[in-house]
Amino acid sequence: MGGMNTRMTKEENTTKAVMSIIRTGDIVNRFLEIELRKHDTSPPRFAVMNALFVHGGEMSPSNISKWIFRAKHSVTSMLKVLVNMGYVKREPNGSDRRSVSIVVTEKGWKATERMIPIAEEMSQRILSCLHKEQIDTLMDILNQIRRHLLSELAVLETTNECKKGEPLESNSVTLQQ
């Protein structure tokens, strides 16, 4: 009977931990919305530019969608805004003229360079309540959870358990590990 109580406690703690992760993510996103608005951007646009930055300034819209876990139509809307701002441009894919690559422009690189210290400052503010060792532990734990969930998503994708229109496709797991 004692094992059952321990299991119940673990299940309750697991649920509380997941809910805490979700709630903290929501709060971080709200903080970022407010701070990024001061710099004429938003968390989704920032995520797209970050994905492009991480990948050397060029990606397909489909791969951007997979990297940031957003539906393709949402990414298309964000890309239109970034094209209108002059931060990115669409170029025909050299190997397949039917598809396009999204390429960061000079203006986009300059905007990204301007955002790096701002992102660093926001990160400092978000995690200022933690010591370096705690941040290192947090990163280890988050990386472990991310790797686990990406494996879980790969299983869902191969068993076709994802709904039509969701950005869960075969490459999404390999893009983010």
Can you give the residue ranges of every domain in the chain?
A: 1-38, 42-126, 129-177
Amino acid letter at 40? Answer: D
Query: What average pLDDT does range 146-159 have in this prediction?
Result: 88
Residue 149's pLDDT is: 93
Contacts by 158-163, CB closer than 8 A, 24 or more apart: none
Cα-based distances in Å from 116 to 9, 85, 103, 141: 42, 18, 19, 25
For the structural domain made of 42-126, what CATH number should be given?
A: 1.10.10.10
Query: What average pLDDT does range 60-64 have in this prediction?
Result: 94
Query: What average pLDDT does range 126-132 have in this prediction?
Result: 97
Both structure tokens of 108: 């986009």
Residue 37, pLDDT > 80, answer yes
Residue 123, pLDDT > 70, answer yes
Residue 8's pLDDT is: 62
Residue 173's pLDDT is: 38
How many whole angstroms separate alpha carbon 39 and alpha carbon 46? Answer: 10
Both structure tokens of 148: 């686990």
Amino acid letter at 16? Answer: K
Residue 164's pLDDT is: 45
